[in-house]
Structure 1
Amino acid sequence: MKNARLLIALLTLVLVGGCNNDGPKESGMALIQTTNPSAVTLNKHTREESDLIEAIETDIEGFKELYDVAVVKGKKDILVAYKVKHLQRFRMKQIEKKVIKHLEDKYPNENFTVSSDYKIFLEAVELEKNMKNPNYSPKKAEDKLQEIIKLQKELT
């Protein structure tokens, strides 16, 4: 009887301790929250480039299977990272092929890197935030973009 009470007390402590939520509040919801990052060009850009990346972002946001899109344009490459709605995750390869085909058909002269990987999405959002800092150089941003693209290619 004494051992049973001790066991119940220990289990209660473990359960209460396991329910502790000391982690960052945003990380638990990060996969399902929409962040709506703005499309960004790393170099001094023309109005045409701004219109291009905004058009790409609008096109990709139009896919009903997706709910968040990050577009980053470098010198030669455009990174398109997106989140897939939860119930559509079983069709991720089909969705990725559909997105790539759409982009290549509509923008044949552009070099796209497309990713539904959450880590790539977070890196793109972080790069977009860094670009708001006036001390963050375009060269450093381009290097970071190339690093993200290299990471995406390693994942595939």
Structure 2
Amino acid sequence: MNQKPIIVYGLLVLIIGSLLSGCNQGGDKTSAESRKSMIQSVNPEATAVKKNEHDVAEKVKKDVQSVPAIYDVAVIKGEEEILVAYKVKHMQRYHMKKIEEEINKKLEKNYPKENFVVSSDFKIFIEAIELKDRMKDKDYSTKDAEERLKKIIKFKKERT
């Protein structure tokens, strides 16, 4: 009885299995909510890096949501800046510049002492949701959250 073909086939199955499992390494780093946000409104909670500043973030979110062309808003208040990422209704996409100006005017009027970074970029929106989800973890420090927020803001500024 020749066992050589059995060993070869066994090794072949192991190699193919290893390769296929390796394709999924580093896998999906996105949260369920951020994946869901790609196809529908998720209405994420406004949040702040420092817990006692949550009220300001919530007020900002309500103000931005009052703009009729917007259907989803993510707000994260950092130590120095507030990130406002929003999604625009499909038929309003032709008026993006006008919508952003309206949001900026409203925020500057209502919160003159705050610094805002406003973005309609979908990638920024997803990153904001990811950060919000990470901040729910007790082991995720305020310092880590602030650093991540600064990276998102830097990324946004680089894109404009």
Common fold, TM-score beyond 0.5?
A: yes
Unaligned runs of 5+ in 2: 1-27
Q: Does 1:78 align with 2:78?
A: no
C-alpha distance in 2 between matches for 1:149 and 1:29? 22
C-alpha distance in 2 between matches for 1:80 and 1:29? 19
Identical amino acids, percent of aligned pairs: 52
* Aligned position for 2:42: 35
Q: Deviations over 1:87-117 (max 9, x none)?
A: 0001111101110111011100001000000
What amino acid is aligned across from residue 33 of structure 1 in structure 2?
Q
- Residue 57 (structure 1) shift: 0.5
What does 1:3-152 correspond to in 2, within 5 Å? 30-45=37-52, 49-152=53-156
C-alpha distance in 2 between matches for 1:69 and 1:75? 20
4+ residue runs over 3 A deviation: 26-32
Unaligned runs of 5+ in 1: 1-23
- Residue 28 (structure 1) shift: 8.5
Q: Deviations over 1:116-148 (max 9, x none)?
A: 000000000000000000010111100000000
What amino acid is aligned across from residue 75 of structure 1 in structure 2?
E
**TM-score, L = length of structure 2:** 0.76
**TM-score, L = length of structure 1:** 0.78
Which deviates more from structure 2 when the two are superposed, residues 29-38 or residues 101-110? 29-38
Name the SS for the 2:113 alignment partner: coil
Question: CA, structure 1 residues 31+106, in 2 after alignment: closer, same or farther (shift >3 Å)?
Answer: same
- Residue 31 (structure 1) shift: 3.7
Structure 1 or 2, whichever has the larger Rg, is: 2
